[in-house]
Amino acid sequence: MSLIKETYQDARTELDDALKWISAWGVRIEATRLAAYRKGIKTLEDMWLQGKIKNFENPGGIEKALNDFFEAAEIVAIHRGLRGCSQPELKHRLSRLVKGPEYATLENPRSSSNDARNAAFELFIASTVNAAGYVTDFAREPDVFTEDEARVLLIECKRPTAPCTVERNVNEAFDTLRDRFAVSDSKKPLRGLVALSIEKVINPGGFTLIADNFRQLEKRIDREFQRFFHRYRHTWLRRCDARVIGIQVAIRTPAIIRDINLPTAVSQLCSVNTTIKGDGFYWDYVHVMRRLQKGRGSLVNPSAPIVCERSVPPGTIRKLARTFAI
């Protein structure tokens, strides 16, 4: 996991660029949560210039600003990966993205108020795919559809709202991919990935992670991934469709690193295969993940190893990571 620092001014400028890009699609951002984040980032910038941000021992007073920066960092990451896209179908995804409550803790799945962040997660995964040189086809199902010279790759994205919903979400993702496999007319082999965003599983209260230093934060995130894989791996290993070659798990959360006195937006993506080492499906997994590692958008960590989860000790996982800090 790497730490990339930006000035408050740079963070606001990048967000402004992302918002202009969204507006250029004809999507209004006034009076949306994105406009609120921009206002919060500007406030944070002004506080820094005035010397009012000195100590994060008690982050309660700046909780809104931390949330604004964290949410804005994801919008910026989406813009970085997808700004070259000209497909008209992208507008619908962006229209979903700008809606929803300002805070993730205010989401209510029963009223579909979580749809905006569901769309954001889909676009985040699409941005990592595009940064690796793939092209997401937003006119096709499921959430992310792309292909290369050898295979079609389908990615179904899920955001479980609580630990008790993980198994249901995994099953729904597998069922969706199986349904798409059944109706596809592609002559290329079909392969699938399930992408899970697990911040509400490991952090139901939506609190800010606080670490004394970057290494401590890194260990905490690694530990959360290991716990998740250990607890829930049975939910995908017992599924029988070998065409679903891997699981991607994302942790995206605000944090504070005390020793460098900076608010941080953590965005880390780990991947583990669901195939038997050595078979053709396994090598498809290796090929896809190696390509993602070489993504140009600085969205992945090129030094991370590729492993087969069924051939290594429990908890050993491959990491694609980026941690932002300003």
> pLDDT tens digit string along 310-322?
332 333 333 333 3
pLDDT at 58 over 50: no
Distance CA 115, CA 126 (A): 16
Task: Give me the residue label for tokens 């911040």.
Answer: 199
DSSP state of 215: H
DSSP state of 149: S
Q: Which residue has the higher pLDDT, 308 or 32?
A: 32
pLDDT band of 279, cuts 50, 70, 90: confident
pLDDT at 47 over 80: no
Query: Exposed, middle or buried, 107 (CB in 10 Å: 0-12/13-18/19+)?
Result: buried
DSSP state of 133: T
Residue range 72-82: mean pLDDT, rounded: 95
pLDDT at 299 over 50: no
Distance CA 148, CA 299 (A): 20
Q: What is the pLDDT of residue 56?
A: 45
Q: Which residue has the higher pLDDT, 239 or 30?
A: 30
- Residue 5: strand, helix, or coil: strand
pLDDT at 154 over 70: yes
Residue range 8-37: mean pLDDT, rounded: 95
pLDDT at 280 over 70: yes
pLDDT at 243 over 90: yes
Task: Give me the residue label for tokens 């700004």.
Answer: 83
pLDDT at 86 over 60: yes
pLDDT band of 50, cuts 50, 70, 90: confident
Distance CA 195, CA 190 (A): 17
Residue 324 near residue 66, CB atoms below 8 Å: no
Distance CA 138, CA 145 (A): 7
Query: What is the residue range of 144's domain?
Result: 3-325
Report the predicted TM-score, pTM, of the whole model to 2 decimal places: 0.87
Distance CA 9, CA 200 (A): 30
Distance CA 112, CA 206 (A): 19
How many structural domains are present in the chain?
1
